[in-house]
Structure 1
């Protein structure tokens, strides 16, 4: 069985991946506290709004960001169904209709205008980051997060989305090839060790 190699980076996958295993059977949440969430957003701002546009993350905005992440994870779980969802929150997912409504409402906070760039001659035209239509940085942030999730789930990569089932892992990943079972090599190693241990234990008990 093959493990995944280097994964293309999707902003929506990065957002959903802020819930992750701690290596010891527990789960870490990078967005649990406002300070941690602000640090994560600053690190990933280039994929959403740009660092200069990030608003101050007060308790209200922090709750909105976390709720959007929760909606995204609920829809990721729906996307991998009937396969297993991430073990981090499979038992307490937001209802899919509520997740869709929250995601679409957030995206609508900032209707954007596409912009074409064609500076090089005879270079090809390119779509650059759409222009915001609101002066509210909070709305821009929430809408950008929501659009990233919408674009991911509406794209072809959704068909290859899986929840890693290696021991202790709670990540989602996009399969890079047909035989990939785990999100990364270390997860594949742990899974093989666990299977070997289970076979040995079953043999001993038999």
Structure 2
């Protein structure tokens, strides 16, 4: 195997081991030793390939988030209205929970409170979702009666913040309802807005237009 291919393979194993370590042991237990043990590698490889544990965690966050965004690219491109976007959020939540990424998100955000370097990279990782959602909202709102009243960039930030809040609060709920059930209740509202006829759309736009 060529050295560059071998190195890329090792970096990938370290990234995957880092995410598994966070998911299993929490951000507080992340170290070169725990990552190496999880990945079955020599801990010196952490420093050889990344220079520091923080740099490896940063790479892991960015790579894993970019891959998750990419996995939803086709669905994001096919969003045709607010109701579609809410349904996509439902599917995204279900998959992230199943993969254990909700746990990782909570751990990384917790670590960001006291680690400026981790906070910076977490912000960059979350922006990958926010920027992609903004692109979708720009298209959706262009044909929505809410288009003149809502700024896609601001709404994307609010959507991302709300989704993160749902993800982090859900483990405190005693059942499968609670915050996540709010997404179910949003579908009929979003569908009703999508289905408004021309006259109703003009009336909504007029009512929401800044005075």
TM superposition score category, shorter chain reference: under 0.3
The structure carrying a bigger helix percent of its residues is 2
Higher relative contact order (CA 8 A, sep 6+): 1
TM-score (norm 2): 0.27
- Using the size of structure 1 for normalisation, the TM-score is 0.27
Larger of the two Rg values belongs to structure: 2
